[in-house]
Amino acid sequence: MSITIRISSLTKVYRNHGRRVFALSNLDLDVQSGTVFGLLGPNGAGKTTVIRAVAGLVRPSAGSCEVLGAPVPRSMQHVVDRIGVIVETPGFHPSLTGRQSLEYLARTRPMRCRSVDEALETVGLTGRADDRVKTYSLGMKQRLGVASVLLKDPELLVLDEPANGLDPHGISELRTLLRRLGDEGRTVFVSSHLLGEVEQLCDEVAIINEGRCVAQGRLANLLSVGHQARVRVHGSGRAARTLLESAGLPCVESTDGALLVRVEVEDAWWITKVLAEHGIFVTELDVARTTLEECYLELVTRSDDQASIGRWGR
């Protein structure tokens, strides 16, 4: 699979009252083509700087950033028509309709007028296309912003915190739209602090902290690491716990009496084998899946304690 965004040893240093401030420090990041990729991190971690670097709006202090094979910002002019970028909330003249706003943009480049209709249909604004933008909700304005970058049929969409300020309905609409664009084969690169939304939307994620990559990989692989199996046995809980721990399977007792065993999903069968060999039979066994929030907090906390970079398999 090809790489749409390749960031290598990217460093960005700002000056603040004569002091050097590292927004990014030797950041490495690869985004594969055709994926919906989420960039996560606490406030001040460097997410917006990464987005601006990919969009060609920031000149790195060191390292490199390649987008669609072109080094940016130096060769941005060669790929700009293949990239759609929204940084912060898109702005439109409030007295124009949604359709008029897109038609004015379409006239700035050779483009069929029916591309406007296609873009409006893609983002679900056909029914409100002839209403003035000042009557649009924030969620509708975000969708109109996505429509504006879809006019040039981009291979890559770059969005900085697109769900900021949206109500739950607007967030759901935006998530559905971005997922559909990803399913069309476009690469969607989005920064966000809404972990629940990222978990529902993205194929791959990267977590950055203090300008460095803490972890990167497929979301499904991240969430499959370190699962806990929930085991219930009647009348033999203490004996079951002793046997499992002696077999190298650490476990704790939950408040409802079940045993929580730290084990990889593919090794859960080992629990029943160990217990059955000693005449203890499992009455219930399921997997308590790790959430993205749990993984995120663990990784960020660990990176605060030690400057190590973790990476899980693709």
Q: How confident is the model at residue 261 (pLDDT cuts 50, 70, 90)?
A: confident
Per-residue pLDDT tens digits for 9-38: 999 999 888 889 899 999 999 999 999 999
**Beta carbons of 80 and 54 less than 8 angstroms apart:** no
pLDDT over 70 (residue 228): no
Cα 173 to Cα 100: distance, rounded to the nearest angstrom? 23
Across 169-186, average pLDDT: 91
Q: Where are the domains of the chain?
A: 3-216, 226-288
Decide if 3-216 and 226-288 have a common fold: no
What 98-102 contacts at long range (C-beta under 8 Å, 24+ apart), as own/partner pairs, is 98/125, 98/128, 98/129, 98/130, 98/131, 98/133, 98/136, 98/140, 98/144, 98/147, 99/129, 99/130, 101/133, 101/144, 101/148, 102/144, 102/147, 102/148, 102/151
pTM: 0.77
Cα 94 to Cα 146: distance, rounded to the nearest angstrom? 17
Least Cα distance to 110 among 130, 147, 81 occurs for 81
Two structure tokens written together for 14: 């700002």
Q: How confident is the model at residue 202 (pLDDT cuts 50, 70, 90)?
A: very high
Least Cα distance to 64 among 130, 11, 1 occurs for 11
Per-residue pLDDT tens digits for 93-104: 999 999 999 999
Q: How confident is the model at residue 293 (pLDDT cuts 50, 70, 90)?
A: confident
Superfamily name with CATH number, domain 3-216: P-loop containing nucleotide triphosphate hydrolases (3.40.50.300)
Q: Which fold has domain 226-288?
A: Alpha-Beta Plaits (3.30.70)
